[in-house]
Chain A
């Protein structure tokens, strides 16, 4: 399942992706500041793989997702889907990309048109893409059954007549109606109750193997990401701080932020309650992120170099597929814990 660096070309390859948002102010609406929402992020997603993206609120997860499905235009960087460059001067049109790459949003309510019955909502995408109406409607029924909703019972209903879990199934059905190869799921279960969350997670697992899908799965819930992902990308304030196989990220986390995030997880064991917070303070404002390493203001290991130089992602000593952006792991970085140059 895991895409090896040396294996076949990945389904998705993202290089140095960047998106800054201007903050305007005053009567003239001049740019007064910039949010560096996604700042030079690179990753790949192998065929049939699930890449999990985790990080705290505002770290750029949704912005990354919207860039991937072309709801936003990147400032710079490239996205290559199945060997084809995406974008204005690319090899694949936005229309073709949309058919291949679909997105499921967190808010199951506002992402459905309240005036359309379920059937039309699901059939809409295919008919826009040239599937004859009757066929599109048949496809809607088939997919509805696939996501575990009886077509006879649900096809004429409107969004307000559904529970949250049912609405999220409709959202998934709608995304699948175009028979995409990659599905970007942005917090698809975060608004759901736990008992319903489990239903939807099981569904996502089933659909992936039935339909040969590849997922980018975004969540702030570390347990859910661990459950679903083959590889995991950890973001902090617009930066990728660590990426690697799920076993490595959860079993041998290297970046101080990843470690803090994992140790902040409730233990679910009343005899092993947390006695100390792994890090103090709040994530800083993304408008003026710290210089150098963005985590340095909360990092217990920060040294001079961390404020001066931004650490690049570098392979872990034992495992090149596990990459970390921290001066402590960069040979000769000048951090006292770093291995010596050439060691």
Chain B
């Protein structure tokens, strides 16, 4: 697993200043006695300061593993990690345990689908946020408590004074999610990793949390890497979207391009099979077949077995990243560089 593969993302988005995050050829495999799971299979991307990139993909596509790999939060004995991860100019793959602890505590914060996992049930919300702040900033108890209160206000928790004294189980789901965001922000991270933070929430609460994240990102200038399986959520929050399939980014682009002019057949299938208002009475365009088996990936395009445009060449090798324009990438042999949307290939149906 070398990192000296062909230059890709980097050349296409080459700028004078280094992006906040640069990931090259990220690979993660899990090994057990009976199988090797190829969870992440060569992911490349960059993330600029203050930018929101959404990783959109179905269950098992490798979204969570990608996020965890960035912070090297994977079981070391059972997983193998390859490729390059640079955050703020520092090489994460080369970090020792102390440096990793620093990174996780300060520059990078993470929020999850289930906020209960972020909190210790036996301490109050206030105690936990205050503790994190004193540990990180070395300020006095009272200063930390004042900042904890500020944070609860920032995430719009009603009666924050009282809520500091609440235990996690005493809060509703939406409230806990806000408290977890407050905890994540307590160290003023420059990068927030968010793994489906609204998936377990009700619709009327989900939108409140998405708006909150948008506001925080604006006000604090954080970059956000946001994982979701929900196209609607991605459209609400993303600047750019990366569509993940079988451990690879098969298409990336600005949110509007990706939604209106998707190029990769999987992205197209995903969008046309997503039910929305205007579809009543029409037959849904489902993607046939089942999601890929990560223990036995085909040598070629991993979407080929389900792709209606597949041809023999698709099975030969994993399609390279094709840059349709400097912002828009798709991994499909039928997409040509510099080609405008749907240049001839939509017409060729089976």
Using CB atoms and an 8 Å cutoff, list the residues of chain A in contact with chain B: 56-57, 163-166, 193-199, 201-202, 205, 220-224, 226-227, 246, 250, 260-261, 264-271, 273-283, 285
Identify 20 residue pairs between A and B in the complex whose beta-carbon atoms are under 8 Å apart, listed by A's number. A166-B290, A194-B229, A194-B231, A194-B270, A196-B286, A198-B275, A198-B284, A224-B275, A227-B279, A227-B284, A250-B277, A266-B235, A266-B236, A268-B231, A268-B274, A273-B236, A274-B210, A278-B204, A281-B174, A283-B202
> Looking at A221, A261, A280, which has the most chain B CB atoms within 10 Å of its CB?
A280
Could you tell me the distance between the alpha carbons of A221 and B256 in the complex, rounded to whole angstroms?
24
B234: nearest residue on chain A (CB-CB)?
A266
Verify B286–A199 contact, CB threshold 8 A: yes
Verify B285–A196 contact, CB threshold 8 A: no
* Chain B residues with a Cβ closer than 8 Å to the other chain, count: 43
Residues of B within 8 A of A197 (CB): 273, 275
Chain A nearest Cβ from B199, distance in angstroms: 11
Residues of B within 8 A of A220 (CB): 202-203
Could you tell me the distance between the alpha carbons of A268 and B236 in the complex, rounded to whole angstroms?
8
State which residues 200-224 of B face A: CB under 8 Å.
202-208, 210-211
Chain A nearest Cβ from B251, distance in angstroms: 15
State which residues 142-191 of B face A: CB under 8 Å.
158, 172-175
**Contacts A165-B290, A268-B232, A270-B256; is A276 near B204 (CB within 8 Å)?**
no
Residues of B within 8 A of A164 (CB): 59
Could you tell me the distance between the alpha carbons of A198 and B233 in the complex, rounded to whole angstroms?
18
Residues of A within 8 A of B203 (CB): 56, 220, 222, 261, 264-265
**Contacts A277-B204, A278-B204; is A193 near B58 (CB within 8 Å)?**
yes
* Partner among B205, B235, B287 whose Cβ is within 8 Å of the Cβ of A195: B287
Verify B284–A202 contact, CB threshold 8 A: yes
Verify B273–A194 contact, CB threshold 8 A: yes
Residues of B within 8 A of A269 (CB): 235, 259
Using CB atoms and an 8 Å cutoff, list the residues of chain B in contact with chain A: 58-59, 158, 172-175, 202-208, 210-211, 229-233, 235-236, 255-256, 259, 269-270, 273-277, 279-280, 283-288, 290-291
Query: Main secondary structure on chain B at its contact with chain A?
Result: helix
Residues of B within 8 A of A282 (CB): 172-175, 202, 205
Chain B nearest Cβ from A280, distance in angstroms: 7
Could you tell me the distance between the alpha carbons of A198 and B259 in the complex, rounded to whole angstroms?
18
Could you tell me the distance between the alpha carbons of A277 and B211 in the complex, rounded to whole angstroms?
7
Could you tell me the distance between the alpha carbons of A260 and B288 in the complex, rounded to whole angstroms?
35
Could you tell me the distance between the alpha carbons of A265 and B277 in the complex, rounded to whole angstroms?
10
**Contacts A227-B279, A266-B232; is A274 near B207 (CB within 8 Å)?**
yes
Residues of A within 8 A of B211 (CB): 274-277
Verify A226–B277 contact, CB threshold 8 A: yes
Could you tell me the distance between the alpha carbons of A212 and B204 in the complex, rounded to whole angstroms?
36
Chain A nearest Cβ from B56, distance in angstroms: 10
Residues of B within 8 A of A271 (CB): 256
Residues of B within 8 A of A195 (CB): 58, 269-270, 273, 286-287, 291
Residues of B within 8 A of A270 (CB): 235, 255-256, 259
Verify A274–B280 contact, CB threshold 8 A: no
Verify B285–A198 contact, CB threshold 8 A: yes
> Looking at B58, B208, B233, which has the most chain A CB atoms within 10 Å of its CB?
B208
> Looking at B158, B285, B290, which has the most chain A CB atoms within 10 Å of its CB?
B290
Verify A198–B204 contact, CB threshold 8 A: no
Chain A nearest Cβ from B215, distance in angstroms: 11
A229: nearest residue on chain B (CB-CB)?
B280
Verify A223–B59 contact, CB threshold 8 A: no
Verify A163–B291 contact, CB threshold 8 A: yes
Residues of A within 8 A of B269 (CB): 195
**Contacts A194-B270, A195-B270, A281-B158; is A260 near B204 (CB within 8 Å)?**
yes
Verify A193–B232 contact, CB threshold 8 A: no
Using A227-B284, A277-B208 as known contacts, list a sample of 7 further A-B pairs with CB atoms less than 8 Å apart, ordered by residue number in A. A56-B203, A194-B274, A199-B287, A226-B277, A227-B275, A227-B280, A260-B204
Verify B256–A268 contact, CB threshold 8 A: no
Could you tell me the distance between the alpha carbons of A258 and B232 in the complex, rounded to whole angstroms?
19
Chain B nearest Cβ from A94, distance in angstroms: 34
Q: What 9 pairs across the A-B complex have the smallest Cβ distances?
A: A266-B232, A198-B286, A198-B273, A56-B202, A195-B287, A193-B58, A198-B284, A282-B172, A199-B286
Could you tell me the distance between the alpha carbons of A279 and B208 in the complex, rounded to whole angstroms?
8
Residues of A within 8 A of B290 (CB): 163, 165-166, 196
Residues of A within 8 A of B173 (CB): 57, 282
Could you tell me the distance between the alpha carbons of A282 and B257 in the complex, rounded to whole angstroms?
34
Verify A274–B236 contact, CB threshold 8 A: yes
Could you tell me the distance between the alpha carbons of A163 and B291 in the complex, rounded to whole angstroms?
8
Verify A193–B284 contact, CB threshold 8 A: no
Could you tell me the distance between the alpha carbons of A221 and B202 in the complex, rounded to whole angstroms?
10
Residues of A within 8 A of B235 (CB): 266-270, 273
**Contacts A196-B290, A227-B275; is A264 near B280 (CB within 8 Å)?**
no
Verify B275–A201 contact, CB threshold 8 A: yes
Residues of A within 8 A of B280 (CB): 226-227, 246
Could you tell me the distance between the alpha carbons of A269 and B260 in the complex, rounded to whole angstroms?
9
Could you tell me the distance between the alpha carbons of A278 and B172 in the complex, rounded to whole angstroms?
19
* Partner among A198, A201, A202, A278 whose Cβ is within 8 Å of the Cβ of B207: A278
Could you tell me the distance between the alpha carbons of A256 and B256 in the complex, rounded to whole angstroms?
31
Could you tell me the distance between the alpha carbons of A271 and B256 in the complex, rounded to whole angstroms?
8
Residues of B within 8 A of A264 (CB): 203-204, 206-207
Could you tell me the distance between the alpha carbons of A285 and B279 in the complex, rounded to whole angstroms?
35
Could you tell me the distance between the alpha carbons of A270 and B238 in the complex, rounded to whole angstroms?
9
Chain A nearest Cβ from B57, distance in angstroms: 9
* Partner among B204, B275, B286 whose Cβ is within 8 Å of the Cβ of A279: B204
**Contacts A57-B202, A195-B287; is A268 near B273 (CB within 8 Å)?**
no
Could you tell me the distance between the alpha carbons of A223 and B277 in the complex, rounded to whole angstroms?
6
Could you tell me the distance between the alpha carbons of A285 and B173 in the complex, rounded to whole angstroms?
11
> Looking at A224, A265, A278, which has the most chain B CB atoms within 10 Å of its CB?
A265
Residues of A within 8 A of B286 (CB): 195-196, 198-199, 201-202
A164: nearest residue on chain B (CB-CB)?
B59
Could you tell me the distance between the alpha carbons of A277 and B270 in the complex, rounded to whole angstroms?
27
Could you tell me the distance between the alpha carbons of A269 and B205 in the complex, rounded to whole angstroms?
20
Residues of A within 8 A of B236 (CB): 266-267, 273-274
